[in-house]
Amino acid sequence: MYPFIYVNRMAIVMVFAALCCGLAQAQSGKQDCTLRLKSASTATGQQLAQDLIKANPCTTVPGLDVKSLSSVWSALLTSSSTGGKRFDTPPPAGTPTGKVLLGAQGLVFDLQSVFGDGVTQLQISVDDVPVFNIVNPKGPLLTLPAARLKPETVYDWVLITRKNSYKASFRTAAPGELADLQHQLDVLATATLSPSVRLLYTAAIYDDAEFYFARDQILAQLRPQIAP
Amino acid sequence: MTMLFKPAWKPLLVAAVCLFLTNAGHAGHSSVAQEFDGASAPAVPSSGPDLGTTFKGLFDRFRSPGAADAKPDDKGTAAAPADKASAPAGFNPMAFRLVDIESWSQTSNVVLDPECKTLVQPFGITDNVASLGMLAAKLKVKSFVDGLNNGNANAKPMQVIEILRYAAKSMNWLPMSLEVKLGESKLADFEVLERDDPKAFEDYKRGDKVLEDIVKDLPQPLPYEFQLKIRKAGSDSATALPGGIIVADRYLFQTGKKESNLDYAYFVMAHEISHVLQRHLTREYQARLVDAVESIEGLMKLTDNKTQITPGALIGYSTALKKLFVNFTEQQELQADSCAMQMMAKHYPSHKQLAAKLAMIEKSMGKPEQTETDGPKSAQLLDTLKYLGDGVMERHPNTVQRHNNLKMLLTLNLAQK
């Protein structure tokens, strides 16, 4: 009787240990918390990289893909000029493309990079039906009111300056896409981080959720800080 | 500035061009498109004459077409040299893939085939020498090339620099292997989604299908193995890199509600593939290298007569050069549109169907808008300096030019039916 109980207990302990070990391995295989960053060329960039590495991404914002953080870092270091032969003229920096988030005020077209060329028209349509038509704007910042933009809709836009015409499209997010994003932003708000590292985390959260326009706006804000 | 234009710099550049030319015979020839009127290509050695970087080597290369173009046979082994003495029966040295070079310019700003009659530009030195022969005939210097091909030592020697310029302007000489490496190094600047990324699975599936549809209609074998990469961000455009890498925007293959969007994706991808097959980027590198020689010469001529040097003359010279480059890139874009149109015509043999598809594509490209042409706003010095310093060395044709080009090609397509 005793040896039988003893053997049974041993077996239970061994199975339990194996399970724990397996779980631990599975967990460690599931999420790699090591941040691998490209080296920055400036001292301020290197300092920012060190600050970023100090925080553990797995605990700072649980669920955030660490790859998004390193990808955001690489994007920060890469110049916007990529070379190659593109089908059309790239949309100017500050104009929305891809999946976008709507702020309380709406969506901003920042035309500063081309305003000097003489902006003559910005037309925005849905399924070939114009919904906005702005002619000869007086300033470089054009805000589309949130109330006039529908969720989960593709908006095609054409921007015409005296020198060039540009075209692209953006898609407004579906309400369901925002819950996880907002949760991660809320968690980030409670973390103790330097302002620049916080911005990088915010950019990574947007990257993870494929809001690249919002991400790129943050990166544009950070770039001057690490510039030579 | 003075350092840049030191005379010692020029021979270095010439040597570099020469080195590329001689290396072209050795590198990347497993993929050289060498066609002999449908007959199987005669196998040629993978180890051409050891020419090194000497000018003699360059002359030899012109003298014996085929010797420089190594192409492994089916078994991956090298066979006998394809010189005239040992050429296999049925070998027709004039049956190369020829390009009738229609234009000639002192600078390399000319797109040679604006209607894209030749979808795949020749890549082998052999093919290119044949094309060069045609050009030479037009330039009434055929006797010289014939002399070279026949090994006639008494032929009037041409200045090496002239040959290099002919070659650099009329042929593709940048080695394929280098082109692929250039493309790979440029790819590092793009944020692309990996193929195993679940976010990109559907996009890659649709994109691969579009790529496959285009490639299957192209003359085979193709010298490139096209690779599709999908960008994380972006809208519905695409970019071609040297060596056959096409980077497509994430939303190019997302059809949304419109199935016609895949026709647009087809056209965009065909346009990009054309940039590769016409070797536009490579030719730009070549052109800048070669024109640099002429530019420096021109600049030196300008500065030879010290009494005539004025800031205005120098600025005028630089402005003219910049215009040439910008115009060159515009012409390349129009040519890529022409090639994409030719590919569409193969995909949709019915003219009516082609016209309908094209109308949808033109709509997706945006309505025709006339924008200012390239150049300074005025002849005033300040505007000219602004123009020179704006950093814009590339430009797309405006939508009016693009629409007009496509309309003309559609009319030609109807005329050919």
pLDDT above 70: percentage of residues in chain B: 41
Question: Do the Cβ atoms of A199 and A206 come closer than 8 Å?
Answer: no
CA distance A215 to chain B (A): 10
* pTM for this prediction: 0.69
Q: How crowded is residue A8: how many other Cβ atoms within 10 Å of its Cβ? A: 10
Nearest to A162 among B186, B275, B372 (CB): B372
Question: Do the Cβ atoms of A195 and B399 come closer than 8 Å?
Answer: no
Residue B224 has pLDDT above 70, yes or no: yes
Banded model confidence at residue B57, pLDDT cuts 50, 70, 90 = very low
Mean pLDDT score across all residues of chain A: 85
Cα A83 to Cα B315: distance, rounded to the nearest angstrom: 27
Q: What is the 8-class DSSP label of residue B225?
A: -
- Helices and strands per DSSP (H, E), number in chain A: 8, 8
Cα B413 to Cα B417: distance, rounded to the nearest angstrom: 7
Nearest to B256 among A84, A154, A210 (CB): A154
> Which amino acid is located at B169 in the chain?
K
Which of B74 and A113 is assigned the larger pLDDT? Answer: A113
Residue A38 has pLDDT above 90, yes or no: no
Contact A98/B233, CB-based, under 8 Å?
yes
Instruction: Enumerate residues 6+ apart whose C-beta is below 8 A from A42.
Output: A226, A227, A228
pLDDT tens digits for A23-32? 444 444 456 7
pLDDT at position B17? 44
Banded model confidence at residue B83, pLDDT cuts 50, 70, 90 = very low
Chain A residues with CB-CB distance to B389 below 8 A: none
Cα A155 to Cα A168: distance, rounded to the nearest angstrom: 9
Cα A179 to Cα A184: distance, rounded to the nearest angstrom: 9
Cα A68 to Cα A201: distance, rounded to the nearest angstrom: 9
Nearest to B250 among A78, A88, A98 (CB): A98
Residue B60 has pLDDT above 70, yes or no: no
pLDDT at position B365? 81
The residue among B214, B229, B237, B333 with the most chain A CBs within 10 A of its CB, best to mutate, is B237
Residue B311 has pLDDT above 50, yes or no: yes
pLDDT at position A56? 86
pLDDT at position B114? 75
pLDDT at position B234? 80
Residue B236 has pLDDT above 90, yes or no: no
Residue B18 has pLDDT above 50, yes or no: no
Residue A95 has pLDDT above 80, yes or no: yes
pLDDT above 90: percentage of residues in chain B: 14
CA distance A106 to chain B (A): 20
Average pLDDT estimate for B392-408: 77
pLDDT at position A127? 87
Cα B125 to Cα B57: distance, rounded to the nearest angstrom: 13
Contact A160/B257, CB-based, under 8 Å?
no
Mean pLDDT score across all residues of chain B: 64
Chain A residues with CB-CB distance to B367 below 8 A: 158
CA distance A169 to chain B (A): 6
Residue A53 has pLDDT above 60, yes or no: yes
| Angle, helices B280-304/B176-187, rounded to nearest 10 degrees | 100
Average pLDDT estimate for A82-104: 87
pLDDT at position B405? 85
Average pLDDT estimate for B29-52: 28
Q: What is the 8-class DSSP label of residue B39?
A: B
**Closest-approach residue (CA) in chain B for A74:** B191
The lowest-confidence range among A175-184, B220-229, B308-317 is B308-317
Q: Which residues pair with A107 in a beta bridge?
A: A144
Banded model confidence at residue B21, pLDDT cuts 50, 70, 90 = very low
Instruction: Give the start-to-end residue ranges of the domains of chain B.
Output: 9-173, 179-280+303-416
Cα B413 to Cα B356: distance, rounded to the nearest angstrom: 13
> Which amino acid is located at A48 in the chain?
L
Nearest to A87 among B271, B332, B399 (CB): B271
Contact B237/A87, CB-based, under 8 Å?
yes
Contact B372/A213, CB-based, under 8 Å?
no
pLDDT tens digits for B264-275? 999 999 999 999
Banded model confidence at residue A143, pLDDT cuts 50, 70, 90 = very high
Q: What is the 8-class DSSP label of residue B139?
A: T
Beta strands in B2-53 (DSSP E): none
Residue A184 has pLDDT above 90, yes or no: yes
pLDDT at position B176? 74
pLDDT at position A30? 57
pLDDT tens digits for B141-197? 545 555 555 555 454 545 444 555 555 555 666 667 777 888 888 888 888 999 998
ipTM above 0.90, yes or no: no
- Nearest in space to B231 (alpha carbons), one of B241, B223, B221: B241
- B396 has a chain A CB within 8 A of its CB: yes
Instruction: Give the start-to-end residue ranges of the domains of chain A.
Output: 1-30, 35-86+173-228, 102-168
pLDDT at position B120? 82
Residue A76 has pLDDT above 70, yes or no: yes
- Nearest in space to B355 (alpha carbons), one of B271, B405, B417, B411: B411
- Nearest in space to A75 (alpha carbons), one of A168, A200, A191, A211: A200
pLDDT above 90: percentage of residues in chain A: 50
Chain A residues with CB-CB distance to B399 below 8 A: 165
Beta strands in B253-327 (DSSP E): none
**Structural tokens at position B338:** 């022409």
pLDDT tens digits for A196-225? 999 999 999 999 999 999 999 999 999 998
Contact B396/A161, CB-based, under 8 Å?
no
Q: Which residues pair with B239 in a beta bridge?
A: A86, B247
pLDDT at position B412? 81
Beta strands in A73-203 (DSSP E): 85-86, 98-100, 106-110, 119-126, 129-135, 141-145, 154-161, 165-172
pLDDT at position B199? 85
